[in-house]
Amino acid sequence: MPTEEILDPDLEICDAHHHLWDLEPPFLPGDLRSDIALGHRVTSTVHVEATTAQYRPGPPELAPVGETDWLLSLDLSGGIAAGIVGHADLLLGAAVEATLEAHIDAARGRFRGVRHMAAWDADPRVRNAAPNLGPGLFRDPRFGEGLDSVGRMGLSFDAWVFHPQLDEVLMLAQEHPTVAIVVDHLGGPLGLGPYLGQRQEVWAHTRTGLAELARCENVTLKLGGIGMTMLGAGWDKRAERVSSQEAADTWGPLIRWCIEAFGVDRCMFESNFPVDRRGIDYPVLWNAFKRMTSDMSASERDALFCGTARRVYRL
């Protein structure tokens, strides 16, 4: 049973960002369906690559396609993974097109974009997106060549960075204006390590970076990730689960600012499950998003909860 009464149960939702994996504990389509069955009207979802990807044997550049192979072996009925964002090594430059073509073939009409994570911080208390990741990934000329290939093939690019790196996303957006770029998780406003207890300063830095990105028409923003431990709300350390009202009070000011900066047609809500499950329950998370937007028009909410994601990912 849901932990709260479901608000606005008829509002259609496209969950613009979640993961599936078979690690312990697993999170498979049945687990996501169980969360959806608690009452929100989630009619489609976008699966985004996970660091736990399955690997295809053969040339190393094709290894990430194994995750797409694995996804298509699952029961994806009911709109689950209607769009797939997979990993490809953009440092391959133009040669990455072989990987992209393999993803497209494997996905049977579902492949929509690429994510090559760049989230990195010098402080060891911050868990970087990948063990061997360093600074300046987006500044590598080979990465730019790979990104151009993504655009030429009609795909989008998901950018996962931490807030001090938003200037690098801005550089990409300005230098590659024809590539659709999606910024994940509010731009990654960190709340741990050296950023612990610095929420106002971090949010100010984040707003500055996002305000510049909002000027780039090829950039859209995912509103979510608020249950991640690295964003610092501390909900995972509490005995009682957070309520949608507290979640809305905590994150509503930044999310509403983002909506004003980018507009509803360039923002989309995401669950980021199962990662965010450590901090908040699935029905509570969507209730919180609905509380944050309760005074908006029906057309504005339709864009935020479904329309933008469907358009950007061409669902």
Q: Which residues contact 148 (CB under 8 A, 6 or more apart)?
A: 94, 176, 179
How does pLDDT run across 234-274, given as a tens digit for each residue?
999 999 999 999 999 999 999 999 999 999 999 999 999 99
Sequence-ordered strand ranges (E) for the chain:
12-18, 41-48, 83-86, 111-115, 156-159, 181-183, 219-223, 267-269
Helix (H, G, I), strand (E, B) or coil at 251: helix
Per cent of the chain over pLDDT 90 is 93
- Are 80 and 29 in contact by the 8 Å Cβ rule? The answer is yes
Nearest alpha carbon to residue 113 among 130, 100, 131: 100
Please tell me the CATH code under which domain 12-312 is placed.
3.20.20.140
How does pLDDT run across 219-238, given as a tens digit for each residue?
999 999 999 999 988 999 99
Whether the per-residue pLDDT at 51 is higher than 80: the answer is: no
Average pLDDT value for residue range 192-204: 96
The pTM for the full model equals: 0.97
How does pLDDT run across 169-179, given as a tens digit for each residue?
999 999 999 99
Whether the per-residue pLDDT at 2 is higher than 80: the answer is: no
Q: Which of 25-29, 83-87, 165-169, 231-235 has the lowest mean pLDDT?
A: 231-235
Q: Which residues contact 294 (CB under 8 A, 6 or more apart)?
A: none
Q: Using CA atoms in the order 189, 194, 198, 202, what is the torsion angle rounded to 10 degrees?
A: -30
- Looking at residue 299, its amino acid is S
- On the CB side of 174, how many CA atoms lie within 13 Å of its CA? 11
Using the CB atoms, write b or e for 30-68: b if 16+ within 10 Å: ebbeebbebbbebbbbbbbbbeebbebeeeeebbbbbbb
